[in-house]
Amino acid sequence: MQQKIRTKFKESFNTEGSLYTSPGRINLIGEHTDYNGGFVFPGAVDKGMIAEIKPNGTGKVRAFSIDLNDYAEFGLTEEDAPSASWARYIFGVCREIIKRGGDIQGFDTVFAGDVPLGAGMSSSAALESTYAFALNDLFSLNIDKFELAKIGQATEHNYCGVNCGIMDQFASVFGKAGSLIRLDCRSLEYKYYPFNPVGYKLVLLDSVVKHELASSAYNKRRKSCENVVAAIRRNHPEVEFLRDATMEMLNEVKADVSAEDYMRAEYVIEEVQRVLDVCAALEAGDYETVGEKMYGTHHGMSKLYEVSCEELDFLNDIAKECGVTGSRVMGGGFGGCTINLVKDELYDGFVKKAFAAYKERFGREPKLYNVVISDGARKLC
């Protein structure tokens, strides 16, 4: 991929620039906890975006996407916003840096990526983080890493119409090989935990399905969580998010909230604890407990939060049948991937059975992505 980028850059601009990269991410555990003030547990992966960039001494950005075979040219003022959605990510990063007082000039760039699209591995965050990191370095802006992640998040909010949390950009910027990161979504404190599962593989199985109800269902579940917090606060004013609540507090208000709201809150309270349990298990090198908690998350997302779907439940059941250590839906739900922690000796049999059974049931094969936990945003050369 690097050579393709180099060749295209030379062809397009008759010069050479610097290469930068940022990764996509997985989240081992901790789903729908972010907007409840809880913890998430992401890691950067060995798939990402790579861009060659060189200042061009003008006020224009000239950008080429190899994957989309598309070119865009735009200025750096608000009125210059490009129409191509991919170019808006680069434009948004530029604008967010400028809003923060960063002095950047025009540049030439060519980029490509190998983050699978639609698999919930955050290709957009990888793109934003690549350019935020690169522009900070090229123009000696001295922006700290936290602010680089926030620049990516603000790009999504203000230029791409996605009201996302901070996890994806955070993981892309702060990723570290051999480590996962526990991020406290309320305080933004973080801690690295060792993730070196010798004898295991981390495997994503993509259901190749995305159900349309995801965004409205997401909003409904968020409202359920807020309803329960409001009820609990009458007795416990210190509770700001479900992260602060216990099952005892939830049971106190069981008669005051709907059965559906109760179920949603039960899942979140248990999921916040599962993240902490996985952290303790990793420090002890106990991957069996990690796997058990992953299955617990899947059960909760499927039966309590109700954001799974038939295809994802099927893949999770196959994992159980094959003796896979841990498996769960990864991401918001209603499609996408399962993330699986698989012993090396079970890997071939699991993949073979999953592909055959899924095809027989749904008429198509899932996609397979093996991932390794890797470093975050950086300059390559």
User: Catalytic residue positions?
Assistant: 168
Residue 330 to residues 17, 25, 335, Cα–Cα distance (Å): 37, 11, 9
Residue 140 and residue 129: Cα distance in Å, rounded? 16
Pairwise CA distance, residues 27 & 180, whole Å: 9
Which residue has tokens 């798939």?
47
| Bridge partners for 192 per DSSP | 181
Q: Nearest 5°: phi and psi at 144?
A: -75, 165
Q: Own/partner pairs for 244-251, CB < 8 Å, 24+ apart? A: 244/37, 245/269
What does the block give as tokens for 36?
């409840």
Contact (Cβ atoms closer than 8 angstroms) between residue 286 and residue 327: no
Q: What dihedral do alpha carbons 115, 380, 62, 75 form, nearest 10°?
A: 100
Do 133 and 20 contact (CB within 8 A), yes or no? yes
Which DSSP helix (H) or strand (E) runs through 21? strand 18-27
Helix (H, G, I), strand (E, B) or coil at 198: coil
In a 3-state reduction of DSSP, which class is residue 340? Answer: strand
Angstrom distances, CA of residue 71 to CA of 9, 108, 137, 186? 12, 11, 24, 39
Are the C-beta atoms of 31 and 41 separated by less than 8 Å?
A: no
Q: Which residue has the tokens 């620039």?
A: 17
Instruction: Find residue 26's DSSP bridge partners.
Output: 43
Name the DSSP class of 176.
B
